[in-house]
Structure 1
Amino acid sequence: MRSAGILLPVTSLPSPWGVGTMGRTARGFVDFLHRSGQSYWQILPICPTGYGNSPYQSFSSFAGNPYLIDLDTLARSGLLEPGEYQTLDWGSDPEKVDYGLLYRNRYTVLRIAAKRYERRCPARLADFCREQASWLEDYALFMALKDRFGGAPWTEWPLPLRRREPQALADARAQLEPEVRFWRCVQAIFFEQWEKLKTYANRQGVQIIGDLPFYVSGDSADVWADPGQFQLDENLQPIEVAGCPPDGFAAGGQLWGNPLFDWERMKADGYAWWMRRIAFQLRIYDVLRIDHFRGFDSYYAIPYGAQDARGGRWRPGPGIDFFKEVERQMGRQNIIAEDLGFLTPSVRTLLAQTGFPGMKVLELGFDSRDTGSGYLPHTYPRNCVVYTGTHDNDTVQGWMAHAPREDVARATAYLRLNEAEGYHWGMMRSAWGSVADLAIMQMQDLLGLGSEARINTPSTMGDNWTWRCRPGVFTDQLADTLRAETAQYGRLPET
């Protein structure tokens, strides 16, 4: 069935407390989606942000991001007093997240709420800890130790803790018991709020598309707790790391630095680590986008310590065997494959074998550096998801302003774009009008914003992951306009 949705990270919602959260504004956005005839809200990973404030470099594959906890909701439930958070500095720019201020102030407030939650909701906390023990205990201790060692990566901790010697772990749990309890409480609060938000969205006819990063951060509870799943040497250092080779977009390739999976070991136990990870994500989302799908076919391995990605080589991934195991254990699931970039015939075969919809990005269809990639609407299959751009691309207006002139000219001619109404509307209409089963627009494009609203520029540091909507942008007028366009192209939900 044809349908439509909007891509907007939770962090990008308006909020007076420094970052978008899972509170009243999130429910207001769900109401906007419902009124405008959208069936899906696509978000970015909701795990804790790590290096560079990126949700793709997280301290845990399972934990929720404490910054997304809504403080007003905590106050309404009696876990905070308004004066305990409303008087703090959350930043002066309503369109940017100040992660430095969040780090300094958010945890101070959450410690107050966590103590009250632990005292007032012991049964709920005990149930949560029991249900999530498989990841929660390692995560809570990891974060407590990280605080103890001034934020240093676990590879710089004392050797007995690095190697997870039982006595060292037992001593740390005893010494850091209050901190471990705090991190457990924060996660219990997070997932209570998340479950209520998701339930509200589903009741409004909106499904949530979550996002699963392919790789995990080297400095994470995932790697520390189970290093045998990764290609590490006897000193627990990576042998090779992740990235992608040089191309027309990056002469030196991209050096991501994540540890690589030990696929042979994983296969031996039925990919148990991955199965737990995917099953958890499928419980908290309605649809799951798996990032870097091509890594299941083959992955690029770069020698550890290299300065760029030019010395890497391709190695085989688990292939269709992996997805047969997913289906054997979990049945057929709603999964979207992020298959962007250079695709070999074997990647295309793997996608066809899974039956998952792939992704099509309109902006990439006009990039002269990447010809023949199948991103133009006349080449789409029905079983795909079309975007004007994703969080890694510029907004439509930004792309039109900064892309090479010949690329812009091709887009203008192909899409019959009209500057008077705004290029963004013409490009979005081409996506809605395509045969793709699902069309997802960035909220920035619906607002007609430029490059200042870009979420992320890959391989750069600085201003990424910070953009937020201004208060008041989810208007009834915009919702009605969007609903009319959605209806025009047969994408309204069935009633």
Structure 2
Amino acid sequence: MKIFFNIQYATTFGEILRLNVVGKGKDIEKVYSMNTYDGKSWHCEITVENGTTQMEYYYSVENGDSEVRHEWTTVSHRLELNAKRAMTYFVNDRWNDIPYDSYLYSSAFTDCVNRRHREPAKGSDYNQTLRLIVRAPQLRSGSRLALVGEDKALGRWNPDDAISMVEHNYNEWVADINVKEMKKEETEFKFIAFNEKGGVDWETGMNRQLHAPTINDGEVVVTELDQAFFELCDEKLAGTLIPVFSLRSKGSFGVGDFGDLKMMIDWVAETNQRVLQVLPINDTTSTHTWTDSYPYSAISIFALHPQFADFRQLPEIKDKKKAREMEALRKELNELKQIDYERVNNTKTDYLRIIFKQEGEAVMKGEDFKMFVKENEHWLVPYAQYCHLRDSFGNVDFSSWKGHEQWHEADRKKLTDPKSKEYGDVAFYYYVQFVLDRQMRAAHEYAMARGVILKGDIPIGVDRNGCDVWHEPQYFNLNSQAGAPPDAFSINGQNWGFPTYNWQRMIDDGCEWWIRRFQNMAKYFDAYRIDHVLGFFRIWAIPTTCVHGLLGQFAPSLGMTREEIEGYGLHFQEELFTTPFIARWVVDRVFGIHADEVVEKYLDHKHDDIFALKPEYDTERKIEAVFKGKDSMDDVWVRDGLYALVSDVLFVRDDNDPNKFHPRITAQLNFMYEALYDSDKEKFNRLYNDYYYRRNNNFWYNEAMKKLPVLVQATRMLVCAEDLGMVPDCVAWVMDQLRILSLELQQMPKDPKVKFGILSRNPYRSVCTLSTHDMPTLRQWWDEDYERTQVYYSSMLYRGGAAPHPLPGWLARDIIANQLTCPSMLCILSLQDWFALDEKLRLPDADAERINIPANPRHYWRYRMHINIEDLIADKEYNDAIKELVKLR
């Protein structure tokens, strides 16, 4: 069978078009070079084997040996070769860039919100076939597309006689027309949509013109047409954010689990919401202590956390005594107001080991288990061995694991051989991940069936002592730590402790590590939040000698030479500007009554009234070690003062080039800056603003475009970004180009000219919210700063008089209503902020609802909703109140 492909695409000299045929895994199976006579009309002829029923493909442009660009590949071209009498196909395609409404092609919309049945195009039995293909992404759930026109073969404008179309690809419809039945060579037509209520929507614009081509017997002409547009408004959805671990039901085991997640989906659907967002669900088990409660420090980007296993979906423990003990423990732990992370996880692990011993052998003989191991072997086997070694050695410092300092690929064979001892050592971890995978997939499928979008969270970093680093160390830089510069959350910046990425190595591999990560997420979610999307442009890299983030620098970034610095008129005094400025007046101001003690114990005199830290105290990590366990107010005061001295520099030396420098972040707040002449301060400020807000913009844009286009097209999940903090202009350029949803918080406006965001200016392609897991809840924020609250009360809510405190339920309703009526596609509020509506339902203590405090690197993540989900679903009055609000969307 022969297929002739034709496409119009204007190229420049040296560029050629290629046709890329892809396989089931979206891997390229074959590439065909195309020909042209004028650089605009491209064509190629291919022959396929008889019996081939379908092809998926996309077009790309190449210059020499390198690809210049390619089509949007998330939804590629699809051609069914099923016309029963066809021997030849002539395909007239259109080049498809990422569409403005690409979100409608995400699984969030196609599989949840606008869920419809898709099927292959029906094979026609015509001698001469004209096949029309059109995309109509606006159609709602239950709608179907048809075409109708003036020709008798097209129904003479009667919708009852229209030609029905088949949705053979996501939002792409196809219909075959018998050319012999057409009475006119040229005719007019339109696309119409039959909605689920039986109504008919006609596409907008002028009638389309259809020219019947000359077709011989045995030929099919396939023509791709412009998108069909209908007078249907954009959909706006409401949703809830709650960590899985925070869920509570009558049957859970002291922590939320995947069974509770299904119940929470029921509540979301019951209140007419369409989105349920959770925090990361990956395994963080590093020390088996409460410090593992931090969900953004995963030991594996693939493995799910064992604490989320729902025992109600597993067989009962056969040992009746043990079963009674476990049930008593379950009730005890489930009654706690907060999560007892250590007891819960230790008990749940014991429970899983009992079930594994009881059921594991039979489960592992099953085909489902074998298939799971085969599909996930790449990460599952190293992860299982890592867990075994972690528990055997009693720590996660794999550099101390004698003989196992790094993953050995040669170990894989024994670890996957059921007859080997090594397999017996790790089989438990295979089993647990199998159980978790099945339960989370079931929750995902349940959400889709209920029309609810499950939205996950992809952390920017990984645990530096985790399995990912142990397994594939080539992708990480262990000589620096990832974090964030100072912001509203933390005056000293945030030091997450994660290793930074070796982006060049990742790019050289086609970002395979990230693609695998995103595609694994797509098994469980239909939307995701990219945590700290700025990290794909540049990361805040902090030396491993630091505790705080003030001495970090953006990586990559364009450091400044001495000559560039002096070009601003600032005389560059390298030693003075790059080493801590410790004058006696600085010591007196920082340490007060402890100044003489600090000078004697921690400082060396250099000259005049200038001092330097003694070598044993000259880094934050050394100071941290000296003061470990000393918690008195005086000790903390001295320690924090020494931290301030270490970071009291005007410039930070570049990590890769010692002859380049970066102005220290928020240097205007330190003593070195205070000591400058006013004229030098002005010069430094100009340099600082140029560096942080202009110098790197194009550079960071290009860095992000090396990574993000590949990743956002790796799956059909809806992409949402957390783009808060010190956001350069290029972030908006990239997000708009790739159609990524932004995050909008009225309390943290992106426009520096306003105190609060103007909700009516929110872009449609955005997520609006009142608080994130890193922020105070609405109720806490309301009482945090009375003066700021009063301004909000007057200028944003247009109310007179004094703002009431604490926040009353009726006012919370007004604030939430404003969020729901804004233009943002998604309005996702934390469960605690939904609770703020009802003064009887919410907790009396607003502080007890806080999830995280970013300024505290050792925060215990243990918040748990105070009401059972069953009781929440049964609270009709409260749920009706939410339904009324959701109608505002």
TM-score in terms of structure 2 length:
0.51
The number of residues matched between the two structures is: 477
Contact 2:398/2:406 (8 A) holds in 1: no
1:436 to 803, 824, 833: 824
* Other structure's SS at 1:256 match: strand
Q: Which residue of 2 aligns with 1:274?
A: 514
2:879 to 470, 476, 479: 479
Q: Mean Cα displacement is larger for which, 297-306 or 26-35?
A: 26-35
Q: Report whether the alignment pairs 1:88 with 2:329.
A: yes
Please give the residue correspondences for 1:297-312 in structure 2 after superposition, counting only pairs within 5 Å.
Answer: 297-312=537-552
Q: Report whether the alignment pairs 1:341 with 2:725.
A: yes
- Distance of 1:117 and 1:373 partners within structure 2: 59
- The alpha-carbon distance between structure 1 residues 20 and 165, as it changes in their structure 2 partners (threshold 3 A), is closer
Shift of the alpha carbon at 1:371?
6.5
Please give the residue correspondences for 1:254-265 in structure 2 after superposition, counting only pairs within 5 Å.
Answer: 254-265=494-505
**Residues 330-355 of structure 1: per-residue CA shift (max 9 Å, x gap):** 36641111111121112222222221
Q: Mean Cα displacement is larger for which, 201-210 or 9-18?
A: 9-18
Q: Which residue of 2 aligns with 1:2?
A: 236
Shift of the alpha carbon at 1:208?
0.2
Amino acid across the alignment from 2:407: R
Q: Which residue of 2 aligns with 1:119?
A: 361
Q: Which residue of 2 aligns with 1:33?
A: 268
Please give the residue correspondences for 1:111-150 in structure 2 after superposition, counting only pairs within 5 Å.
Answer: 111-121=353-363, 122-123=365-366, 124-150=368-394
Please give the residue correspondences for 1:419-430 in structure 2 after superposition, counting only pairs within 5 Å.
Answer: 419-430=807-818
Amino acid across the alignment from 2:469: V
Amino acid across the alignment from 1:65: H
Shift of the alpha carbon at 1:439?
0.4
Contact 1:54/1:465 (8 A) holds in 2: no
Q: Report whether the alignment pairs 1:19 with 2:255.
A: yes
Structure 2 unmatched runs, 5+: 1-234, 286-290, 557-699, 837-841
Shift of the alpha carbon at 1:166?
5.7
Shift of the alpha carbon at 1:57?
0.6
Structure 1 unmatched runs, 5+: 232-237
Shift of the alpha carbon at 1:102?
1.4
- Distance of 1:166 and 1:208 partners within structure 2: 35
Contact 1:320/1:353 (8 A) holds in 2: no
- Distance of 1:340 and 1:117 partners within structure 2: 47
* Other structure's SS at 2:554 match: strand
**Residues 25-50 of structure 1: per-residue CA shift (max 9 Å, x gap):** 43332221112111111111111134
- Distance of 1:77 and 1:127 partners within structure 2: 26
- Distance of 2:808 and 2:404 partners within structure 1: 62
Contact 1:26/1:197 (8 A) holds in 2: yes
- The alpha-carbon distance between structure 1 residues 73 and 335, as it changes in their structure 2 partners (threshold 3 A), is same
Please give the residue correspondences for 1:190-209 in structure 2 after superposition, counting only pairs within 5 Å.
Answer: 190-209=436-455
* Relative contact order higher in (CA < 8 Å, ≥ 6 apart): 1
- The alpha-carbon distance between structure 1 residues 192 and 275, as it changes in their structure 2 partners (threshold 3 A), is same
Q: Which residue of 1 aligns with 2:791?
A: 410
Q: Which has the higher helix share?
A: 1
Q: Report whether the alignment pairs 1:153 with 2:394.
A: no
2:704 to 301, 304, 319: 319
Shift of the alpha carbon at 1:175?
5.5
Amino acid across the alignment from 1:325: V
- The alpha-carbon distance between structure 1 residues 319 and 240, as it changes in their structure 2 partners (threshold 3 A), is same
2:284 to 41, 49, 54: 49
TM-score in terms of structure 1 length:
0.89
Shift of the alpha carbon at 1:58?
1.2
* Other structure's SS at 2:498 match: strand
* Greater Rg by CA: 2
Q: Which residue of 2 aligns with 1:180?
A: 426
Contact 1:34/1:205 (8 A) holds in 2: yes
Contact 1:14/1:94 (8 A) holds in 2: no
Contact 1:382/1:436 (8 A) holds in 2: yes
Q: Mean Cα displacement is larger for which, 215-224 or 474-483?
A: 474-483
Amino acid across the alignment from 2:739: G
Amino acid across the alignment from 2:351: V
Q: Which residue of 2 aligns with 1:470?
A: 867
- Distance of 2:314 and 2:715 partners within structure 1: 37
Q: Which residue of 1 aligns with 2:305?
A: 65
- The alpha-carbon distance between structure 1 residues 333 and 164, as it changes in their structure 2 partners (threshold 3 A), is closer
- Distance of 2:512 and 2:774 partners within structure 1: 30
Q: Which residue of 1 aligns with 2:458?
A: 212
Q: Which residue of 2 aligns with 1:396?
A: 778
Amino acid across the alignment from 2:423: E
Shift of the alpha carbon at 1:479?
1.9
Q: Report whether the alignment pairs 1:223 with 2:469.
A: yes
- Distance of 2:410 and 2:768 partners within structure 1: 52
Amino acid across the alignment from 1:441: L
Q: Mean Cα displacement is larger for which, 202-211 or 319-328?
A: 319-328
- Distance of 2:787 and 2:449 partners within structure 1: 46
Amino acid across the alignment from 1:382: Y
Q: Report whether the alignment pairs 1:163 with 2:406.
A: yes
- Distance of 2:728 and 2:467 partners within structure 1: 33
- Distance of 1:478 and 1:75 partners within structure 2: 36
Q: Mean Cα displacement is larger for which, 78-87 or 196-205?
A: 78-87
* Other structure's SS at 2:788 match: helix
- The alpha-carbon distance between structure 1 residues 452 and 21, as it changes in their structure 2 partners (threshold 3 A), is same
- The alpha-carbon distance between structure 1 residues 247 and 208, as it changes in their structure 2 partners (threshold 3 A), is closer
Q: Mean Cα displacement is larger for which, 110-119 or 436-445?
A: 110-119
Contact 1:94/1:468 (8 A) holds in 2: no
2:737 to 353, 361, 377: 353
- Distance of 2:355 and 2:757 partners within structure 1: 48
- Distance of 2:413 and 2:394 partners within structure 1: 20
- Distance of 1:126 and 1:485 partners within structure 2: 48
Contact 1:229/1:262 (8 A) holds in 2: yes
Shift of the alpha carbon at 1:154?
2.1
Q: Which residue of 1 aligns with 2:58?
A: none
* Other structure's SS at 2:501 match: coil
Contact 2:294/2:860 (8 A) holds in 1: no
Q: Which residue of 1 aligns with 2:523?
A: 283
Contact 1:366/1:411 (8 A) holds in 2: no
* Other structure's SS at 1:85 match: helix
Contact 2:293/2:860 (8 A) holds in 1: no
Q: Which residue of 2 aligns with 1:235?
A: none
* Other structure's SS at 2:748 match: helix
Contact 2:415/2:422 (8 A) holds in 1: yes
Amino acid across the alignment from 1:14: R
Contact 2:464/2:498 (8 A) holds in 1: yes
Contact 1:360/1:385 (8 A) holds in 2: yes
Q: Which has the higher strand share?
A: 2
**Residues 131-176 of structure 1: per-residue CA shift (max 9 Å, x gap):** 1111110111111111101133323322x31133567788899665
Q: Mean Cα displacement is larger for which, 213-222 or 316-325?
A: 316-325
Shift of the alpha carbon at 1:478?
2.0
Q: Mean Cα displacement is larger for which, 316-325 or 410-419?
A: 410-419
* Other structure's SS at 2:276 match: strand
Counting aligned pairs with the same residue, the percent is 26
Contact 1:94/1:470 (8 A) holds in 2: no
* Other structure's SS at 1:311 match: coil
Contact 2:485/2:492 (8 A) holds in 1: yes
Q: Which residue of 2 aligns with 1:234?
A: none
Amino acid across the alignment from 1:387: T
Q: Mean Cα displacement is larger for which, 161-170 or 444-453?
A: 161-170
